[in-house]
């Protein structure tokens, strides 16, 4: 029961950090779910995050997987509600207000200022995730190839990501046999 | 500022129809890039929004905390059918992905974490890093205009990733400095 309260607190808090996308909350998510509460290991967190990129819809549905690990179905529901309700309410009310602020002089300032900070937070998330996922040159090459493919072509990201998984399995096959 | 429409916009959809359209987008927007799916669904196919309002709602979604996909569902749902619209649109958007990831959580616990699936997941984690860097480049190209913007990006990222500064502090301090840097100047006033 206490776990569910912890889940609610952690994900409600993470929810408010997702400025510029879910990745902005990743550094703090690692800190809390792995280092503070030991709900899962860093590789497990990376696995869920990456699987979440393959799921349709909003790309942070992996919070439901962490919820399952901590408290089965109730855990998943608590994690989802905690992660989506606070920012949801904020968006709902500020969204109504924001359209009335179209001519407010500070509005472009807030958008430009928060925009660059958001990019910085996403970059921090990418660095922390990269440290866990790129364990040697081989995985670095996978990241680089996926990056170049997605940057230069209009291919659906699901294909190169699934292909990376298959390459990972091939590596496992050749290193264990 | 209203642009004369060439054809009258369709009447607002029923709540059931709203839920269904968002459910379909929630189930089919594979591989990220939900924004593209949203535009196709809402602007092109259903004609519930014009491009101007779509971009306006998107800029709100991107400025506020929360994911683009859910923020857009809330804003579009609210604009079309008020509070209930926001709720059904968000539920529709989230339901498919959430069900899948709940299933993934159980599968992982039930022996889905053997060496083969670990090798697969390690591979997709490396691939996902490539995906994030692309998102980063696209986000940066849209957002960063001056040298100062790049300085804010690097300072924020270094503080969080290397000096373990908690994200809320980084967000508040860098946010205030960056917003102040972009503060309205007198010359902007018409």
B135 and A53 in contact (C-beta within 8 Å)? no
Instruction: Quote the CA–CA distance of B54 and B57 in Å, as a whole number.
Output: 5
**Could you tell me how many CB contacts below 8 A there are between chain A and chain B?**
384
Shortest CB distance from B119 goes to which of A65, A87, A168?
Answer: A168
The answer to whether the CB atoms of B157 and A127 lie below 8 A apart is yes
- How much is the pLDDT for A128? 86
B29: which residues sit within 8 A by CB, 6+ positions away? A56, A57, B37, B38, B69
| List of chain B residues whose C-beta atoms are within 8 Å of the C-beta of residue A158 | 30-31
B58 in any annotated domain: yes
The answer to whether the CB atoms of B129 and A22 lie below 8 A apart is no
The answer to whether the CB atoms of B139 and A118 lie below 8 A apart is yes
Whether the pLDDT of residue A6 is over 60: the answer is yes
The answer to whether the CB atoms of B128 and A50 lie below 8 A apart is yes
Per-chain mean pLDDT for chain A: 88
Shortest CB distance from B181 goes to which of A96, A113, A126?
Answer: A113
The answer to whether the CB atoms of A95 and B78 lie below 8 A apart is yes
Q: Residue A141 is encoded by which pair of tokens? A: 């090459």
B75 in any annotated domain: yes
pLDDT beneath 70, residues of chain B: 1-10, 31-33, 111-113, 186-190
Q: How distant is the Cα of A172 from the closest Cα of chain B, in angstroms?
A: 6
CA distances from B33 to A55, A92, A104, A175, B104 (A): 12, 22, 30, 35, 21
The answer to whether the CB atoms of A150 and B68 lie below 8 A apart is no
Which one of A17, A35, A56, A77 would you mutate to disrupt binding with B, by most B Cβ within 10 Å of its Cβ?
A: A56
pLDDT digits (tens, 9 = 90+) for A161-171: 889 989 998 98
Whether the pLDDT of residue A40 is over 80: the answer is yes
Give the SS3 label for residue A135.
Answer: coil
- How much is the pLDDT for B1? 40
Instruction: Quote the CA–CA distance of B97 and B103 in Å, as a whole number.
Output: 10
The answer to whether the CB atoms of B124 and A91 lie below 8 A apart is no
- How much is the pLDDT for B101? 92
B132 in any annotated domain: no
B130 in any annotated domain: no
- How much is the pLDDT for A101? 78
The answer to whether the CB atoms of A117 and B56 lie below 8 A apart is no
For chain B, what is the domain count?
1
In chain A, % of residues over pLDDT 70: 99
CA distances from A148 to A49, A142, A153, B122, B153 (A): 21, 10, 8, 19, 22
Instruction: Quote the CA–CA distance of B28 and A138 in Å, as a whole number.
Output: 32
B57 in any annotated domain: yes
B38 in any annotated domain: yes
Instruction: Quote the CA–CA distance of A105 and A153 in Å, as a whole number.
Output: 38
Q: How confident is the model at residue A79 (pLDDT cuts 50, 70, 90)?
A: very high
Half-sphere exposure of A101 (CA within 13 A, CB side): 17
The answer to whether the CB atoms of B119 and A171 lie below 8 A apart is yes
Looking at chain A, which residue has its C-alpha nearest residue B175?
A114
Instruction: Quote the CA–CA distance of A94 and B164 in Å, as a whole number.
Output: 30
Residue with tokens 């866990």: A132
Q: How distant is the Cα of A7 from the closest Cα of chain B, in angstroms?
A: 15
B123 in any annotated domain: no
Shortest CB distance from B188 goes to which of A22, A68, A105?
Answer: A105
The answer to whether the CB atoms of A151 and B137 lie below 8 A apart is yes
Q: Does the structure's ipTM exceed the value 0.85?
A: no
The answer to whether the CB atoms of B57 and A126 lie below 8 A apart is no
Shortest CB distance from B160 goes to which of A61, A124, A130?
Answer: A124
Range with the largest mean pLDDT of A56-65, A72-81, B5-14: A72-81
Instruction: Quote the CA–CA distance of A80 and B29 in Å, as a whole number.
Output: 19
Give the SS3 label for residue B20.
Answer: helix
Residue B79 is part of which domain span? 1-112
| List of chain A residues whose C-beta atoms are within 8 Å of the C-beta of residue B166 | 28, 31
pTM over 0.90: no
- How much is the pLDDT for B184? 85
A129 and B128 in contact (C-beta within 8 Å)? yes
The answer to whether the CB atoms of A169 and B116 lie below 8 A apart is yes
Looking at chain A, which residue has its C-alpha nearest residue B182?
A109
Q: Which residue has the higher pLDDT, A117 or B1?
A: A117
Q: Which residue has the higher pLDDT, A79 or B38?
A: A79
| List of chain B residues whose C-beta atoms are within 8 Å of the C-beta of residue A110 | 63, 179
pLDDT digits (tens, 9 = 90+) for B35-61: 777 887 888 888 888 877 887 788 788
pLDDT digits (tens, 9 = 90+) for A133-153: 888 899 999 999 999 998 888
Q: How confident is the model at residue A104 (pLDDT cuts 50, 70, 90)?
A: confident
| List of chain B residues whose C-beta atoms are within 8 Å of the C-beta of residue A54 | 30-31, 124
B65 in any annotated domain: yes
């Amino acid at each position: 029961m206490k776990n569910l309260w912890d889940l609610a607190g952690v994900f409600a808090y993470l929810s408010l950090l997702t400025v510029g996308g879910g990745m902005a909350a990743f550094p703090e998510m690692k800190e809390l779910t792995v280092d503070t509460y030991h709900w899962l290991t860093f590789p497990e967190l990376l696995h869920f995050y990456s699987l979440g990129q393959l799921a349709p819809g909003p790309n942070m549905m992996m919070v439901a997987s962490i919820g399952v690990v901590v408290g089965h179905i109730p855990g998943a529901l608590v994690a989802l509600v905690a992660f989506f309700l606070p920012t949801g309410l904020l968006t709902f009310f500020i969204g109504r207000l924001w359209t009335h602020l179209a001519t407010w002089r500070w509005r472009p300032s807030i958008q430009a200022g928060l925009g660059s900070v958001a990019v910085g937070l996403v970059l921090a998330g990418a660095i922390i995730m990269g440290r866990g996922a790129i364990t040697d040159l081989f995985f670095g090459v996978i990241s680089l190839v996926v990056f170049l493919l997605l940057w230069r072509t209009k291919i659906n990201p699901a294909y190169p990501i699934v292909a990376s998984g298959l390459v990972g399995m091939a590596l496992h096959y050749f290193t264990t046999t | 500022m209203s642009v004369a429409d060439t054809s009258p916009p369709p009447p607002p959809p029923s709540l059931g129809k709203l839920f269904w359209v968002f459910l379909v987008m929630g189930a089919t927007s594979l591989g990220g890039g939900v924004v593209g799916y949203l535009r196709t669904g809402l602007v092109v196919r259903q004609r519930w929004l014009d491009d101007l309002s779509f971009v306006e709602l998107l800029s709100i979604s991107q400025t506020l905390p929360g994911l683009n996909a859910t923020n857009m569902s809330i804003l579009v749902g609210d604009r079309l059918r008020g509070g209930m619209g926001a709720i059904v649109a968000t539920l529709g958007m989230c339901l498919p992905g959430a069900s899948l990831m709940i299933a993934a959580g159980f599968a992982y616990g039930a022996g889905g974490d053997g060496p083969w699936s670990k090798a697969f997941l390690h591979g997709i984690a490396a691939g996902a890093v490539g995906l994030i860097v692309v998102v980063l480049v696209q986000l940066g190209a849209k957002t960063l205009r001056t040298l100062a913007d790049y300085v804010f990006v690097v300072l924020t990222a270094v503080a969080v990733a290397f000096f373990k500064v908690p994200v809320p502090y980084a967000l508040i301090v860098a946010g205030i400095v960056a917003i102040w840097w972009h503060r309205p100047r007198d010359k902007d006033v018409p």
